[in-house]
Structures are given as structure tokens and as C-alpha cells.
Amino acid sequence: MARNKEFDEKAVLKKAMELFWKQGYEKTSMQDLVNHMGIHRRSIYDTFGDKYSLFLASLKSYEVFVAEELTKIISNSSTLKIAIRNIFEYVVNLAELEIYPAGCFAVNTAVELSLLDKDIQHLTTKMFNDTEELFNKLLKEGQNKGELKNDLNTQVTAQFLHNNLIGLRVLVKTKYTKKDLESIIDLILKVLE
């Protein structure tokens, strides 16, 4: 038999994801990816196909990454209201930590490509719907536990929360201060009172 793969496919894909997340599709060259992923150009093509396929794979790996992060946040929150607040805080804090790029890969992609590429538009819409569905689930759970009023329309409220989350994920790329963003969060969450 033959030699085994030496690199961890998941790990190098995450490297690609980080670069696309930070720079977008067009600004990221294959040379950038070769440098950053740490494997040979040939290995990239053999494993992931062309640049576009690698981008799609990166976006899907981001989807998983975010879902894991959100699950952690929620399970570390004592109430559902706090869980929702922590999701918003996470977006603002992540931009400050600089471990990952500021902003959201899905939002970036929706803005950069979804008018020009229907497949991408479909994928980003799905990711947005999923985030909304998560909010919806949290809100319903909050109602069941008596934390939230029952006359709250959970679906519209979920869309509203998500809309604000998108806004914040754009604003963190500008020179807005954390203090500004915090007071916006406070006002957003008034809808839950």
C-alpha cells in the first residue's frame, strides 16, 4: 500500500477558512493559501479541488465552527436571556481579541458574492436562516420557562435579533468603540423586556 496523508485535512481547511474570512474570496490568492495552509499547492488541489471549491468548503467549515461556538456560549449561560446577550457580547468581544478576524465570514460572503453567485446566495441565506432558527428556539424555550412574555412573536423577534447581529458584525470592522456597540446591545435586548 501507499503512504498516508501527513496533514490534518480539518486543520488545513481551518487555516484556509481563516484567510478567506479575513480577506474575502477575491483578495485571497492561491499563493496566499499555499503560504498560510502550510501544505503544497498540489496537495491543496488534490484534496479540495479548485479555489472556488476550497472556498465553499471553508464556508461550510465556518458554519460548523460557529455552531460549536454558539453551543458553548449557550450551555455556559444560566438563563436564556443571558444566553442571547452572551451571543451578542461574543461578536463584539471576538473582534477585540483578534484571535479570529473581526466580522462574520457568512456576512462577508453574502455581501461580496451573493449578488453575483446564486449558489453562494443560497448557502448564505441558509446560514442566516439557521442562526434565526437558533434565536427562535432560544426565545421559545425562554417563554416555556417563564423568562419571556408569551405575547412575543418569537419568529419575528428572532429575525430582528439576527438583523441586529448582522449589523454589529459589520460595525466591528469599522472604528466604532466597544462602548458604542455595548449600548446598542442594551437597546436591542429591550425587545425582550
Query: Binding of DNA at residue 42 (CB under 7 A)?
Result: yes
Q: Which of 13, 17, 19, 39 binds DNA (CB under 7 A)?
A: 39
Query: Binding of its own copies at residue 23 (CB under 8 A)?
Result: yes
By beta-carbon proximity to its own copies, the closer residue of 86 and 114 is: 114
Q: Radius of gyration over alpha carbons of the chain, in Å?
A: 19
Chain positions 96 to 125 lying near its own copies, rule: CB under 8 A, are: 101-103, 107-108, 110-112, 114-116, 121-122, 124-125
Q: 2 contacts which partner out of its own copies, DNA, none, CB within 5 to 8 A by kind?
A: DNA
- Full DSSP string of 20-85: HHHHHHHH--HHHHHHHH-S-HHHHHHHH-SHHHHHHHHHHHHHHHHHHHHHHHHHT-SSHHHHHH
Query: Binding of its own copies at residue 87 (CB under 8 A)?
Result: no
CB of residue 156 to its own copies, shortest distance in Å: 5
Size of the site for DNA (CB under 7 A): 24
Closest alpha carbon to 188 in 60, 180, 2: 180
Q: 6 contacts which partner out of its own copies, DNA, none, CB within 5 to 8 A by kind?
A: DNA
Query: Binding of its own copies at residue 76 (CB under 8 A)?
Result: no
Q: Which of 14, 60, 137, 173 binds its own copies (CB under 8 A)?
A: 173
Torsion angle of the four alpha carbons 164, 170, 176, 182, in this order, in degrees rounded to the nearest 10: 30
By beta-carbon proximity to DNA, the closer residue of 6 and 98 is: 6
CB of residue 31 to DNA, shortest distance in Å: 5
Closest alpha carbon to 187 in 159, 170, 168: 168
Exposure string for 75-92, b = 16+ CB within 10 A, e = fewer:
eebeebbebbbbbbbbbb
What residues line the site for DNA (CB under 7 A)? 1-7, 28-32, 38-43, 45-47, 50-52
